[in-house]
Structure formats: C-alpha cells, structure tokens
A and B are shown apart, each in its own frame.
Chain A
C-alpha cells in the first residue's frame, strides 16, 4: 500500500476491507488467561482456608481470603507486563470497567463487614457479584459458554445460605472451577486456535 489517490469506488472498498481485516485480527485481550489467574487463585485460597479451618478450627484462617486480591493483582501485573497488546477495542474497555467496579465492591464488602462488625453473608454476596461479572463478560464478548456458566454460578451462589459454613467454602470453590477455570481453559483454546 502506498500514497496514491483513489477513485470513489476504491475508497469505499478500501474502507470496508480495512474494517474487515481489523475485525478478523482482533485479539480478545487474553481473557482466557485472566479467568485462569483469578479462578486458580480463588480455588487454591479456598482450599487453604478450608484445610486450615478443618484441621485446626482456628477462625484466624479466614484472613487468608485476603490473599485472593493480593496474589491475583500481582499475577495480573506480571501477566500484563509480559503481554504486548497491539490493539485495544471499546469492548476491552467496557469489560475492564465492569471488572474494576466488581473487584472494588468485592474487596470492600469483607472490609466493611469486619470493621463495622456488620453480619453479612460475605461469601454468598461475593459469589453473586463475581458471577454477574462472568455473565456480563460472556454476553459482551458473545461467548455462550461463559454467560451460561455465569448464570449457573449466580444460581449456585444463591443456594449457598442453605449450607453450613464449611460446606459453603466447598461450593464457593466449585463455582470458581465451573464458572471461571473451565470457561477460562475453553477461551484460551479458542484464542490459540485463532
């Protein structure tokens, strides 16, 4: 392609051709890896918390939940530093806003609950919140498996109050396997194929 003037039909053809070429080259922003980072971080944290509580009965093990935002954010920083993103779309920005809001609220809920001594079904509300994020992401990127998993996750989160404290941790971990880790691997496979 060079600097030459076009006739009207050539101009229209070029515009259509470039928009199509851009569309087909678009990367989905490494969404699969991001889901895997948060999914596995949450799963491993839930296992450690469960094991700690089950083996010792010491409630201090619940503080380990705060490892999720710390470890997850560090892994995200490493991931973003490693990856060179060549193109950013408006969809990327919308998804980023959705997760920023959800992430902030998910971090604030336990802090408010602890410091104001406000009894709150933290695990249930965070489960619902994160799964709303999964559903919205699935709908925005038009990835059916993801939004179906998200809705399933919301339903499972709503069932959590019917179980005892320790069993809630198992369900919470299972939700992240079903709704983040499995779709994360599927997304990653799709990205690789593309």
Chain B
C-alpha cells in the first residue's frame, strides 16, 4: 500500500488547528482563532504568517472603529492542501 506524504506545513498542531477553523467558516478574526485554539498571540502570529507565506490563507488587516482587526480567510490552495492532508492521513489509518 502506498502512503501519501503528509504536508509538513499542516502537520503541526497550531497550524493544523488554524486551518481546521478556517475550513469551516468563510473568515475568522485573530481573536476568534486565539480563543478557539487557546494559543498565545505571538505563537498564532508566527503560524499565521507561515500559512500566509505558503498562500494557504489570506490575511486582511483593517480597523473596526479605532480597534485593529486581523481577518483570516482560507485560500483555494489552502483548501486543496487541507483535503490532500486528510486524504494522506486516511491512507495511513486505512493501512
């Protein structure tokens, strides 16, 4: 049986958590991701930047009144990567 390779970018706890949140909504802000994952601001920022650099997510920074808001949205490439990751996981589990 052939095992598919797991995407190293997604095979990390926090990055996979962020992508799993974004796959189920259209967009989510930084605080929502922080609250759902329970991770620290710094750690989330670093992982979001890695996902953005790989074009898996889009990040939009804007102001709501006087408060800054960071909105994250999964891209088509991110959706494909997530689907391939789940397929690869299945190939390991079905062995």
Contacts and interface: CB of A to CB of B under 8 A. Distances in A.
Interface of A: 1-6, 8-12, 14-15, 18-19, 21-23, 25-26, 81, 84-90, 92-93
B24 A19 contact: yes
Given A8-B92, A11-B89, A15-B86, A25 B13 contact: no
Interface of B: 6, 11-17, 20-21, 23-29, 31-32, 35-39, 43, 46-47, 64-65, 67, 69, 85-86, 89, 92-93
Nearest to B29: A86
A84 B20 CA distance: 22
Given A1-B39, A2-B13, A90-B26, 11 more contacts: A1-B17, A3-B15, A6-B13, A11-B11, A14-B17, A15-B20, A18-B17, A18-B24, A22-B28, A87-B25, A87-B27
Given A8-B92, A15-B86, A25-B35, A2 B26 contact: no
B12 to A, nearest CB: 5
B43 A3 contact: yes
Q: Main SS of the interface on chain A?
A: helix
Nearest to B17: A18
B23 A86 contact: no
Given A3-B47, A81-B65, A22 B21 contact: yes
Contacts of B46: 3
A22 B12 contact: no
A87 B13 contact: no
A25 to B, nearest CB: 6
B93 A18 contact: no
Contacts of B23: 19
B16 A6 contact: yes
